Amino acid sequence: TMLFVDIAGFTTICERVPPDTLSDLVSQYFDRASRIVMDHDGLIDKFIGDCIMGVWGAPFPVASQEVKATLAGKLLDRETMVAPLATAWDAEGEVLRVRVGVSTGEVLA
């Protein structure tokens, strides 16, 4: 099972927010999102730009992996993820919105 989460409109945000500030905002987002994935027995596979790729069931089996990934995805897309970071983003005149996708099944790698 794989989960992807990214920041909606990130390219446009990059054009408006100073690099040092953007780095701090994205670090906070990566930290919080990564903890949510790992708290649900997922592993962070990689960071791709502003996207986080989480996996369940590889390289080790995870019971109820589809349920755990979906629960993590719901938390990433709600107040649990966005609200604690909103003040810092608001201070820069930006709104943090994330997009989440979850897929499950066999993967050939």
Residue 41 is assigned to a structural domain of this protein: yes
- β-strand pairing of 98-103 with 2-7: antiparallel
Residue type, 69: A
| CA–CA separation, 104 and 89 (whole Å) | 32
Residue 2 is assigned to a structural domain of this protein: no
Q: What SS3 state is found at 41?
A: coil
| CA–CA separation, 65 and 41 (whole Å) | 8
> What pLDDT, on the 0 to 100 scale, is given for residue 71?
97
Q: Is the pTM of this model over 0.95?
A: no
85 and 5 Cβ atoms separated by less than 8 Å:
no
Residue 1 is assigned to a structural domain of this protein: no
Residue 78 is assigned to a structural domain of this protein: yes
Show the domain range for 39. 9-103
Q: What SS3 state is found at 55?
A: strand
Q: What is the number of domains present in the chain?
A: 1
For the domain that residue 36 is a member of, what is the CATH number?
3.30.70.1230
Residue 66 is assigned to a structural domain of this protein: yes
| CA–CA separation, 57 and 62 (whole Å) | 5
| CA–CA separation, 44 and 17 (whole Å) | 27
Q: pLDDT tens, position by position, for the chain (109 residues)?
A: 999 999 999 999 999 999 999 999 999 999 999 999 999 999 999 999 999 999 999 989 999 999 999 999 999 987 788 888 999 999 999 999 999 999 999 888 7
Residue 54, strand partner residues = 3, 44
> What pLDDT, on the 0 to 100 scale, is given for residue 81?
86
Residue 91 is assigned to a structural domain of this protein: yes
Specify the DSSP element, H or E, that contains 104.
none
Residue 3 is assigned to a structural domain of this protein: no
